[in-house]
């Protein structure tokens, strides 16, 4: 199970980062509506969530006392794309390093998130699901801001014959 969770975290990190690479600065920070988060805010939130959940994973509550979740939904002075992406990278590094340090024997151990007990298995799946939800938001916003952007999943009309469910360019015709 751990290997599968690690594979999925890596898959969605790659998808998100390929999408993020297609955005210019203005699109990264743009809010498509007053009650809609920008890509920058989603990046900031995912970074904060992963840092909190996966720091001292087995020994402290997943909601760290120094986390300011509400602040993750505000762009503050100094929140440059470079800094937000550095925090994003750190969050992903923490989750992957922690998961790689675990063994199957750890899966039934108990950890807490906001005081609620979870098995390691449950906490890992909860974090993966939460992260994938936000990666989907990022990819949707990339498409909204850049309708001409590269398809990172199966493009419309090309569902047949795509191995693994993810878009792969067709082989060269050899003409």
User: pLDDT digit of tens for each residue in the chain (175 aa)?
Assistant: 999 999 999 999 999 999 999 999 999 999 999 999 999 999 999 999 999 999 999 999 999 999 999 999 999 999 999 999 999 999 999 999 999 999 999 999 999 999 999 999 999 999 999 999 999 999 999 999 999 999 988 888 888 766 655 544 445 554 4
Distance CA(76)–CA(49), nearest Å, equals: 18
Query: pTM here?
Result: 0.90
Query: Structure tokens of 21?
Result: 């690479």
Domains and CATH numbers, the chain: 2-165 (1.20.120.450)
């Amino acid at each position: 199970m751990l290997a599968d969770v690690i594979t999925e975290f890596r898959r969605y990190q790659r998808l998100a980062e390929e999408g993020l690479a297609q955005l210019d600065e203005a699109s990264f920070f743009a809010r498509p509506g007053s009650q809609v988060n920008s890509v920058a805010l989603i990046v900031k939130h995912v970074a904060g969530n992963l840092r909190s959940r996966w720091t001292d994973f087995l020994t402290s509550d997943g909601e760290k006392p120094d986390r300011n979740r509400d602040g993750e939904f505000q762009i503050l002075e100094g929140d440059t794309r470079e800094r937000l992406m550095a925090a994003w990278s750190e969050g992903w590094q923490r989750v992957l390093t922690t998961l790689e340090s675990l063994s199957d024997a750890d899966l039934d151990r108990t950890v807490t998130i906001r005081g609620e007990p979870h098995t390691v298995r449950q906490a890992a799946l909860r974090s993966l699901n939460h992260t994938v939800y936000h990666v989907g938001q990022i990819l949707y916003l990339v498409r909204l801001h850049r309708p001409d952007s590269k398809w990172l999943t199966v493009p419309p009309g090309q569902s047949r014959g795509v191995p693994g469910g993810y878009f792969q360019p067709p082989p060269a015709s050899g003409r």
